[in-house]
Amino acid sequence: MRRLLSRVMFSGASFAIAAGALAVATGFAIAAIYLALSASFTAPVAAVLTAACGLAVAVIAAIIGRALLRLPRAGGRGAPRGSDERRLVADLGALMGEEIATLARTHARGTLIASLVAGFAVGASPRLRRLLRTLLKN
């Protein structure tokens, strides 16, 4: 269980580092485009052209993402998950349940207050009750 948790933590940390590096690289690329355009155009026009380049990249990425979502899956739509994936998800759920139970036991007063506030909110708001009812039905 600890090995699974450490793998998840390392994966999350590496993803966060990669996302940060990508954000910094994107910032430098935008600055470079602006500086290159400002040599040929006035500052406001260079800023507009840089924004247009950014919007074009965003639209192209959205189109590619949408196209990839429409591709048929290799295993078909109703392909069952493998037993390893199910075991991993079950272990992760059990680990999260244990952590939440430990947190609730350690902070009993806070858990009680949060439960009371949530109960009063659901009892006082008919819209919130309807929302919860529809969420629980689906």
Q: Model confidence over 60-103: pLDDT tens digits?
A: 888 888 888 887 765 555 545 567 778 888 888 888 888 778 87
> pTM of the full predicted structure?
0.44
- Give the closest residue to 34 by CA, choosing from 86, 63, 95, 26: 26
Crossing angle of helices 83-106/2-38, nearest 10°? Answer: 90
Distance of alpha carbon 20 from alpha carbon 63, whole angstroms: 24
| Domain spans of the chain, in order of start | 1-71, 108-138
